Structure 1
């Protein structure tokens, strides 16, 4: 597949998550809630995680922002559901490295759609958009 076709596919994946976000909404009850924002561009997110026995049972988000931040939140909540906290944190670390343009073993990351965000590394001003939900997840589980 040529670079242009791959770039187009990745843009389509990002726009699909933006227009049809997965796990957008609210978890009722006593759950871990983290509010974060990106003051440089106005993205804001409220992330909710239901963690039991060290495993993310449920993950939802609400908020507003650019397509990259909202698509990344959608992808992140999908990726961490059912994962042990340590695995979710490792995924977040690998995702951050990917955003900084470092080589990452995608098999180890097993992020499926999240690979579509690789191109964000070429736009340093957008990295905070892509990592906002991930930083919220890290903050939440580290405070638990």
Structure 2
């Protein structure tokens, strides 16, 4: 779950985080993906597995871009990850990634490594929820513990 002790510097991020924590909300809505695949459980499972396979690498690339303050790569990786989040129904997380992308492209705010810690926790929470849903809906596991980097 989220760690409220992590420093978030922007007031909007603090309010958003407080809303998430107070609602004990889930970040992933499986109905969005199920609707996109027209209730096809096999396709739902396949897309969930692809999501779980590619996201850790994109998260790592985004984190590296933020660490070296590469605005273009930060924007590109945030855009890619936001697209992944929207596909599986992690709308609020996708919107936060769009903010990171926009800020990087407009050079109005460079997300710091400290700020990204909280985002990374949310991203892994989405992945855990997708993994759980894959197990409960399809009856299989993508072995999330094996694909999430340390």
Normalising by structure 1, report the TM-score: 0.35
Q: Based on CA coordinates, which of the two structures has the bigger radius of gyration?
A: 2
Structure that is richer in helix per residue: 2
TM-score, length-normalised on structure 2? 0.34
Question: Higher relative contact order by CA 8 Å / sep ≥ 6: 1 or 2?
Answer: 2
